[in-house]
A = this chain, B = another copy of it.
Amino acid sequence: MELTNLHSLSASEAARVIRDGLISSEQLVEACLTQISKIDGQVQAWTFLDPDHALAQARAADEYRLSGQPTGALHGVPVGIKDIFDTADMPTENGSALYAGRTPSRDSTVVSMLRAAGAVIMGKTVTTEFAYFSPGKTRNPHNPEHTPGGSSSGSAAAVGAEMVPLALGSQTNGSTIRPAAFCGVIGFKPTHGLISRHGVLALSRTLDHVGLFARTIDDIALLAEQLAGYDGQDPDTRPRARIPFLKVATEEPPLDPMFAFIKTPMWERADADTKEGFAEIVEQLGSQVEEVELFPSATEAWQWHQTIMAVEMAANLEREWNAGRDRLSEQLRAQIERGREVRAVDYQRALRQSAPIHESFVELFEQRYDAILTPAAPGPAPKGFDSTGDPSFCTLWTLCGMPCISLPLLQSTTGLPIGVQLVGPRHGDARLLRTARWLAAKVATG
């Protein structure tokens, strides 16, 4: 086995060669750490990384495997964890000075599931302040003058820069899909409630989702299969039959999928490269795509999302507001102030009006379409670090709790990646991955 490019392996490949004894987890983690030491001075994806602790986990995984005991699907594979997921062995600081040095006593549910699957918890990746807008230190791995997107900035950049094959993020508006698109990786936000958020910073019970980053669709399926499941500690998860993500995602669709190209009212924000790229994809898809107008009730989604997110953030960050508002960014203070002013009946109305929007999409899917085709962001990663870019192409799908995936299928004239977003009906997660694989192959072969 050629050991020089181990850091480029996908998680699925890495898990396989470790399982087969071709490489050790220690070799893989060593390679990833070398890659990090080479380029993280520029990218700055990590907020906590202890190479010795990562290597110790890898060696323990190797010893365990050699003992002949059964191993998990991610045995020995390193994963980056956004610094809003509690880890019992590393700090979890939520991107805020208010939590500097905080080390939780317990792992979040998904981190324990990763450990149970044999993964090496590589370290903690940079998040924007409280997973909202105020940027961290991370740079885009494709061009250090550009934002990586946010709020899962470090996770997207770390996977994009081949520092780890997998990373966890979150999405309350566009915090997984947008940075994935900007960093040229695959981002997946599953159905609301599919993956537990217990032990993760809570901004908004209604809108918070765990997000996944990888460089291949197989890896997304592999990771999703480990993490999906009921957790009594997250009131929005439900006991459901196990989803065979890997099996479904790697199947050929029985029929060529049909796509609904939905521009949404945000289309006017899309740049020329994005518009041109989508025109080409639509042309390639031919009769497999139809442009669909967004139904009127859905056009109010942005407004409902804003109300719900502001209120729930103001409620969840009340302690931080009361005790330390002078140490919050101006952006976050303004958001909390907006939330604190909303009347409860207006908040309830936003919740009530949002619910039927998904119903209309269900009809769309049941009648004719396998996935919605839409941009992941208005364009490639913007230059500069004042903002992490515009989440508005994600808002509607997040509000509806629908599964979304961003695929790095386009490129700007300046060479930066542009994401293509596919959206499926709630609980159509595995089939959405299958459809995404079909689209990626179709676009690759022209």
Contact = CB atoms under 8 A, between A and B. Distances in A.
Interface string A334-369: 000001111111111100100000000000000000
Interface in A202-258: 238-239
A262 interface: no
A26 interface: no
Q: How large is the interface on A (under 10, 10 to 19, 20 to 34, 35 or more residues)?
A: 10 to 19
Most chain B beta carbons < 10 A, residue from A315, A318, A342, A349: A315
Contacts of A40: none
A312 interface: yes
B348 A311 contact: yes
Contacts of A341: 343
A318 B239 contact: no
A315 B345 contact: yes
A314 interface: yes
A339 B314 CA distance: 19
Nearest to A340: B345
A425 to B, nearest CB: 15
A315 B348 contact: yes
A347 B349 contact: no
A238 B315 CA distance: 27
Contact of A343 (B238, B344, B348, B352): B344
Contacts of A349: 315, 318
A269 B422 CA distance: 61
A315 B340 CA distance: 18
Nearest to A311: B344
A346 B341 CA distance: 10
Interface in A358-391: none
A344 B312 CA distance: 8
Nearest to A310: B344
A283 to B, nearest CB: 41
Nearest to A307: B344
A75 to B, nearest CB: 33
A408 B349 CA distance: 41
A301 to B, nearest CB: 18
Contact of A239 (B239, B314, B345): B239
A259 to B, nearest CB: 29
A428 to B, nearest CB: 17
Contacts of A340: 343, 345
A341 B343 CA distance: 7
Contacts of A344: 311, 314-315, 339, 342-344, 346-347
Interface in A294-342: 311-312, 314-315, 318, 339-342
Contacts of A318: 345, 349
Most chain B beta carbons < 10 A, residue from A315, A344, A349, A352: A344
Contacts of A342: 343-345
Contacts of A348: 311-312, 314-315
A424 B352 CA distance: 32
Q: Which 3 A-B pairs have the closest CB atoms?
A: A315-B348, A344-B347, A311-B344
25 contacts: A238-B238, A311-B344, A311-B348, A312-B348, A314-B344, A314-B345, A315-B344, A315-B345, A315-B348, A315-B349, A318-B345, A318-B349, A339-B344, A339-B345, A340-B343, A340-B345, A342-B343, A342-B344, A342-B345, A343-B343, A343-B344, A344-B344, A344-B346, A344-B347, A347-B347
Given A238-B238, A342-B344, A347-B347, 17 more contacts: A239-B239, A311-B345, A312-B348, A314-B345, A314-B348, A315-B344, A315-B348, A315-B349, A315-B352, A318-B345, A339-B345, A340-B343, A340-B345, A341-B343, A343-B344, A344-B344, A344-B346
